[in-house]
Amino acid sequence: MQPLTRISLDPGTMGGKPCIRGMRVTVGMIVGLIASGNTKEKILELYPYLEAEDINEALSYAAWRVEEIDVPLFSQSA
């Protein structure tokens, strides 16, 4: 995977969720808009401060993240 330069993770912005270029636009919001049937062109029209590459990178990040496996560092006893 190529380095992602448009995705930021900052605990002070949107609770640390992955965002686009430090803005309050999350990767999840972009993925949700696409999943709801919006085209990239429509998203760019609705959010004129976004760029086409922001959407592409958000989708790349989401695809990469889905493939990760979360492994617990410890187990809790009942």
Q: How do residues 18-77 score in pLDDT, each as one tens digit?
A: 999 999 999 999 999 999 999 999 999 999 999 999 999 999 999 988 887 666 676 666
15 pLDDT above the threshold of 80: yes
Q: Tell me how far apart the alpha carbons of residues 41 and 36 are, in angstroms, rounded to a whole number.
A: 14
Flag whether pLDDT at 78 surpasses 60: no
Q: Which residues contact 20 (CB under 8 A, 6 or more apart)?
A: 6, 7, 8, 26, 27, 30, 50, 54, 57, 58
Structurally, how many domains does the chain consist of? 1
Residue 7 has pLDDT above 90, yes or no: yes
Angle at 73 between CA 65 and CA 75, to 5 degrees: 120
- Residue 78 domain flag: no
- Taking residue 58's Cβ as centre, other Cβ atoms within 10 Å add up to 27
Residue 41, domain CATH: 1.10.10.10
The residue segments making up the domain with residue 24 are 7-66
The pLDDT score that the predictor gives to residue 41 is 97
